[in-house]
Amino acid sequence: MKYTKEKNQETILAICLGLLVIYLIFKVQVLIPIALGLIAVALFSQFLAGWITWIWLKISHIMGFVMSKVIMGIIFYGLLFPIAMLSRLFKGNSLQLKKQPDTYYQTRNHTYSGSDLENPW
């Protein structure tokens, strides 16, 4: 919980800016005195400013942890899952995961030459 004075003031001013933006959008009158009070705390009490900074950063870490999971879930179920289902519908068994009664080996009519081994990757 040891933050510099500048870090405390920067964090509290960011919170105040957010409160004032919310005030401009939703016209909630109580946000202006809260923002002014937070600015006064940032200027006059390093102890309270440190606690506010600590609490705010913990909240942001929790939000980052939760939101990363939410965003990855949205990407998976919104993008990758539908692509996989469409691929499964239209391409069939491209990985040959289903058991077949015959062999998995495929006959390939190809005559190998030295150029096949020049650049394997």
> What tens digit of pLDDT does each residue of 56-92 get?
999 999 999 999 999 999 999 999 999 989 988 887 6
CA distance 36 to 29: 12
pLDDT at 100: 66
Distance CA 50, CA 38 (A): 12
Give the span between the Cα atoms of 78 and 75, in whole angstroms: 5
CA 76 to chain centroid, in Å, comes to 12
Burial class (CB in 10 A: 0-12, 13-18, 19+), 65: exposed
User: Whole-model pTM?
Assistant: 0.64
Report CA 73 to chain centroid distance, whole Å. 10
Domain ranges in the chain?
5-91
Contacts of residue 117, Cβ cutoff 8 Å, sequence gap at least 6: none
Task: Let me know: does 48 contact 41? Beta carbons within 8 Å.
Answer: yes
